[in-house]
Structure 1
Amino acid sequence: MFVSPMLLEYTKDNKPFNDDNYITELKLDGIRLIVSNIDRPRLYTRHNNEITANFPELIASLSIPDGSVIDCELIVSDIDGKPNFAAVMERFKSNKSKHKVTACAFDIIKYKNKDITTLPLLERKELLDESFIENTHYTKSKFLVGKGIEYFNLVKQQGLEGTVQKLIGSKYEIGRRSSAWRKVIAYEVDEFFIAGYRKEDFGWLLSDGERVLGVMELGVGKPERQAGFKVFQQLKTKETNEMVYIQPLIKCIVKYRGYTKNNLLRLPVFERFVL
């Protein structure tokens, strides 16, 4: 049985806050996973793609009661114990990968055939604790009451993805993006050159002045696109069927979530031009 998961909104200005009406959890850098044990054990992505056959080790070690559905993040930890997104994607694409996956459960949607989405968050957390004993492939998310700012600062110092702050009394809103759950992303911020642009789908090519760092698609508003395009026409150096290259003279401030295994910026987001 698939259940469309509850989704997050950003906190205001992507900043953490202290409020004892909220719990604070680590935002894990992995793949959303719905683990269902209604008629038989099944695994689903957030988009209702069944991936049960992809992870036989998760099925073999599943111990939640019949009639239960839990909400998890599927992760692979690196040598330092930090979630590694590239590694979990590699394992997701091939069960020949040697990476060990862990399903980190943070909520429970059904428990012993009872719909518990209307229960307050902390009551669901208690039922989640009762639903299984942690093992080599399943663990449970730890949380604090309040302490949003302090927790986020520690997470950022450790180079982790960010935190999630959830209203203690919140219900589980199936298939909805809700302000009751708020994410704070620990972006890195730096200046990069614009080295080109796509001809068709929007995207600006980024460079550190020596090497290309990928294409930025996010955060660029219509005024910035129009202003940039006018200037770019004067800086053209060459072009291909897909891309126009320009002299890397224009800088912009970009926030991003680290680097991929190919040393490209991960999810770069435009902030503003450097004037």
Structure 2
Amino acid sequence: MFISPMLLETAPGPFSHSNYLFEPKVDGHRLIYSQQSGNVRLYTRHNNDCTRQYPELRLPFDSDIILDGEVACTDPQTGINDFEGVMSRFSTRQHSKVQQFAKTLSATFAIFDILHYQGRDLRKFPLMERKAILHSLVLPSSNFGIVPYIEGAGEALYEQIEARGMEGVVGKRKDSQYVSKRSANWQKVINWSYAEVFITGYKKAEFGWLAAVPDLSGKLRPAGIIEHGASPKHKQAFRGVCQQLVTGEDKNHVYLEPRIRAKVKMRNWTKSGLLRTPVFEQFIV
């Protein structure tokens, strides 16, 4: 049975509060684990069945149950969540490759909430009561883990997360019920990275600025597309300048001299050297 997950608001910055618990934000994709009549199914937040992609997570609990969490993979070199790794797992459909990945790039289900258990709907229970039930479970294997939390000290946890280069922190009201919508009772604080880029073009069809950064030799190389963060005033200012810088175009893009610089925030750099989820911050003049 699929339950639409509870979603996070974005906090303006790290915070501490005695009415909140704080968890590390796992860098993977959302997973609803459902065991009904002994049958295990796995779903993404958008109700896409991904059961066959994660054979190591199809193990049953002692009773029917619905759990919420993140599926993640760990980079063996750094010990940090490998988002690209879990995306490779998620996009693989061929049975032989799925089986190989299960051995070489094993997935972990990081559980942070329990929604149904032993025939009871727990969503109206306060979060702390749900956590107590969750921590009483016997997990099926080492591929299952429960996300740890601390009470009150969100800023101290964020400092540790930032120092380790992890994704961020989630703050949740201790008395929050589980609702299938975005709620201010759950808030995320992302550990953003920052970069300075050159804008070398733009999309024709919808908003998107092409970003580039210097390589080791000083030559610019493509680094991704900025699609978020620019206000109407920023876009207007860009349009006022860019027509003087056009060097060419193709079916999808207009290309510019690399004269416009910008500061962006991002989740991290991908292994191929691209900005992951870049968000425009400001022009550099």
Q: TM-score, normalised by structure 1?
A: 0.95
**RMSD of aligned alpha carbons:** 1.2
Residue 150 of structure 1 aligns to a residue in which SS? helix
Shift >6 Å, 4+ stretches = none
1:62-101 map, 5 Å: 62-66=60-64, 68-79=65-76, 80-94=78-92, 95=98, 96-97=100-101, 98-101=104-107
In structure 2, stretches of 5+ residues that fail to align are 93-97, 215-219
After TM superposition, give the deviation of residue 134 of structure 1 in Å.
Answer: 6.1
Please say if residues 134 and 140 of structure 1, whose CA atoms lie closer than 8 Å, have aligned partners that are also in contact.
Answer: no
* CA deviations over 1:201-237 (Å, ceiling 9, x no partner): 2100111242110101011122211210121100011
Q: Which amino acid aligns with 1:154?
A: Q
Give 1:227's match in structure 2, choosing from 218, 237, 243.
237
After TM superposition, give the deviation of residue 64 of structure 1 in Å.
Answer: 4.9
Question: What is the number of equivalent residue pairs in this alignment?
Answer: 270
After TM superposition, give the deviation of residue 192 of structure 1 in Å.
Answer: 1.3
- In the alignment, what sits opposite 2:247? 237
Is the counterpart of residue 206 in structure 1 residue 206 in structure 2? Answer: no
Measured in 1, the distance between the counterparts of 2:240 and 2:159 equals 40
- In the alignment, what sits opposite 1:35? 33
Give 2:186's match in structure 1, choosing from 181, 191, 196.
181
Give 2:21's match in structure 1, choosing from 1, 20, 23.
23
In structure 1, stretches of 5+ residues that fail to align are none
Q: Which amino acid aligns with 1:87?
A: G
- In the alignment, what sits opposite 1:140? 146
Q: Which amino acid aligns with 1:22?
A: Y
After TM superposition, give the deviation of residue 135 of structure 1 in Å.
Answer: 2.4
1:64 to 1:272, Cα distance in 2 relative to 1, 3 A: farther
- In the alignment, what sits opposite 1:57? 56
Measured in 1, the distance between the counterparts of 2:224 and 2:249 equals 16
Q: TM-score, normalised by structure 2?
A: 0.92
After TM superposition, give the deviation of residue 187 of structure 1 in Å.
Answer: 0.3
After TM superposition, give the deviation of residue 133 of structure 1 in Å.
Answer: 2.7
Measured in 1, the distance between the counterparts of 2:115 and 2:62 equals 12
* CA deviations over 1:18-61 (Å, ceiling 9, x no partner): 111111100011010000112321111111111112222211x3
Percent identity between matched residues is 40
